[in-house]
Amino acid sequence: MNFEFATANRILFGHGAVSEAALAARKFGTRALLTLGAPPALAQPLLEQLAQAGIVASVFSVHGEPTVESVLNGVRQARALNADVIIGFGGGSALDTGKAIAALLTNPGEIFDYLEVVGAGKPLTQPSIPYIAIPTTAGTGSEVTRNAVLSLPHLQVKVSLRSPVMLPALAIIDPELTYSLPPALTATTGLDALTQCIEPFLSNAANPLTDALCREGIRRVANSLHRAYTNGADKEARLDMCVASLCGGLALANARLGAVHGLAAPIGGMFPEAPHGAVCARLLPFVMETNLRALASRAPQSPALGRFDELAALVQPKKQGQVGLLDWLHATNRNLHIPPLSVYGLTPEDYPALAAQAQKSSSMKGNPIPLSDQELIHILEQAAQA
């Protein structure tokens, strides 16, 4: 068995961990660009810390999911500042924006030289300038991944800028930053974390290290997501969700994802108002059901089949079985009020194009078994129905 495991150079985790950000940043320089996707009030203590440490901070606000244009605007702002450290503060969009800016500051040429699918896909060869990632949601795991997902609205696609050089120099995960997350965002980001633990666990590139992380993350989501959703001040539940998000990020960066993310990417490109976590949550049970059926009929000897039983035991220790897993996934979506995909504008006319785009995605290559266009269309049909 051969595998690689790479992550952020350093990870700080715990209540109050964000208090160490300014001193850590000071080791990299005195001019910081802060990509901010969280409420300004939440970032104010960090800005005060930076000022006290003698760091000049320029705020680059991130509204919505990052686009190629917005990242290039951030690069221009960072260059005008002559920034020597980038700090991402917010959800996955803010963290991905900062990650992309840090990489593009040191690598020559145009962004399309490096983008997948729509660009030349050339490798980034120069290390990013130091990047500190501080998540304020618990779901994407972007603080420890090696890619940034960027959209091109005029093409209705999402693509990745991806390289090991994009791994953050420091990830700071402080559960206290998630206490103010509203229930709906707690649900969608939390189910994104769950998906990012389940898919690498089932992927064709799973390894012992990612397996251990996935098991831990899945167990914590099952124990704590509903508690965090109903009571945002539940410190133990919030901590569990931050651990689960971190586990998912570590796993997906070192294994692969699957058909859920393979479909979610083109859906997000075509329907930018659809929250990524909500899309993944809605797709997850139907993708799992389709994978189970496909494995049983076309690859009955696949080790992935046995993993479904283990997944069921992780989410419902007292009620094992593959059917129980699917029932639990559907019930979780109902309890957290995840809507059908049709509310975001998906219609049957969109399904063939979405399936065709999904087949080209890097995530689809990690699915435990190849799925046909018709199987993907059937997943979309089910996920769109009320």
pLDDT tens by residue, 187-204? 999 999 999 999 999 999
Q: Of 261, 286, 147, 151, nearest to 196 (Cα)?
A: 261
Per-chain mean pLDDT for the chain = 95
What is the Rg, in whole angstroms, of the alpha carbon atoms belonging to the chain?
A: 20
Residue-level pLDDT at 118:
84
pLDDT tens by residue, 275-321? 999 999 999 999 999 999 999 999 999 999 989 989 999 998 766 67
Domains and CATH numbers, the chain: 11-178 (3.40.50.1970), 183-384 (1.20.1090.10)
Compute the average pLDDT of residues 202-228. Answer: 97
Q: How far is Cα 382 from Cα 251, in angstroms, rounded to an integer?
A: 28
Residue 355 has pLDDT above 70, yes or no: yes
Compute the average pLDDT of residues 166-195. Answer: 97
Q: How far is Cα 130 from Cα 290, in angstroms, rounded to an integer?
A: 42
Residue 185 has pLDDT above 90, yes or no: yes
Residue-level pLDDT at 129:
96
Q: Which residues on adjacent β-strands are paired with residue 11?
A: 171
Residue-level pLDDT at 324:
84
pLDDT tens by residue, 103-152? 999 999 999 999 988 888 899 999 999 999 999 999 999 999 999 999 98
Q: How far is Cα 349 from Cα 332, in angstroms, rounded to an integer?
A: 29
Residue-level pLDDT at 3:
85
Residue-level pLDDT at 116:
84
* pTM of the full structure: 0.95
Compute the average pLDDT of residues 84-92. Answer: 97
The answer to whether the beta carbons of residues 238 and 179 sit under 8 Å apart is: yes
What is the DSSP-derived secondary structure letter of residue 137? S
The identity of residue 326, as a single letter, is L
Residue-level pLDDT at 2:
84
Residue 253 has pLDDT above 90, yes or no: yes
Compute the average pLDDT of residues 56-81. Answer: 95
**Region at 321 (left for phi over 0; alpha for psi -120 to 50; beta for the rest):** left
Residue-level pLDDT at 320:
64
Tokens of 148: 């940034």
Would the CA dihedral through 112, 97, 243, 308 be positive or negative? negative
The answer to whether the beta carbons of residues 78 and 101 sit under 8 Å apart is: yes
pLDDT tens by residue, 19-50? 999 999 999 999 999 999 999 999 999 999 99
Residue-level pLDDT at 101:
98
